[in-house]
Chain A
Amino acid sequence: MQIKNILVATLIGFIFWVLLNNTLDPLILAIGAGLALILALLFCARCNVFSELKVTPAAFGYTFLYLGVFLVELVKSNLDVASRVITPSLPINPGIVEVKTHLKSRMGRMILANSITLTPGTLTIDIHEDTLYIHWIDVQTEDKQGATEKIVRKFEKYLEKIYG
């Protein structure tokens, strides 16, 4: 488990090094690999966040599908909030609701919370065990079950496949 964690962290650091340098010179690639390994050993030896990652072809496929769904949601809800902003009467009815998630892993919960925050209209304020507290700009239902259906479900069904 620990080895997989360090390997994934090294890979991420190396990809960033290649993107920043934008060359394929072997010497620079070797320096980057060494640096990424040292940094992963220093910082990721104790926090085993990446060990929960599933590395299977199905998880890869669902990651790309999730990115697509997420981008579509991002644009749709941005247009929604933008239209609220420029309407002269300012049609908002905000409130803080609680929703429940089925995700068990910390990585999956973090990505769920960040996706909820990035789509405008919903903002994660805190997470406590499996309950998320969400500031919602247009509260349609105050009930926990209904809010879960409306906010979380569309992301969760893909994240469940990726992180379990």
Chain B
Amino acid sequence: MELLAIIGALITLAGSIFLLLGAIGLLRMPDSYNRIQAGTKASTLGTILSFAGILLIMPGWWGKLLVLIISVIITNPVSSHVLARAAHYMGVPLTKTTLVDKYREEEEYIAVKDQNNEST
């Protein structure tokens, strides 16, 4: 029992280190999209790991911790996707080393189509 608790505590510690790496990535990355990549994703795994560690320490709390893990897994990708689309729509610039931007052509195509629909 004691061994399981110590393993759980170490998993929580690993999760907190992932959270710290996510925050460092948030500071170091050059543009918004890369910040979303480094920030929200690494911290998702960190949070899941720390909930799993608490789950190993206190097995009696499994119901609420499971609901928390599921809600983090469902809500997090949605919010980062919505933020990325809003940033691209606002015209937040990509960093200088970016290789391709296939999405901009598509966006211009949609804009032209909308204008045609409004004028007719």
Contact = CB atoms under 8 A, between A and B. Distances in A.
B41 A81 contact: yes
A36 B95 CA distance: 47
Contacts of A93: 97-99
Q: How large is the interface on A (under 10, 10 to 19, 20 to 34, 35 or more residues)?
A: 35 or more
Contact of A85 (B28, B44, B73): B28
Interface in B49-87: 63-64, 66-67, 73-74, 76-78, 80-81, 84-85
Contacts of A142: 99-100
Interface residues of B, number: 42
Contacts of A75: 45
A135 B84 contact: yes
A139 B85 contact: no
Contacts of A86: 21, 24
A92 B97 contact: yes
A121 B37 contact: yes
B15 to A, nearest CB: 11
B50 to A, nearest CB: 14
Interface of A: 16, 18-22, 74-75, 78, 81-82, 85-86, 90, 92-98, 113-114, 117-121, 123-126, 128, 131, 133, 135, 137, 139, 142
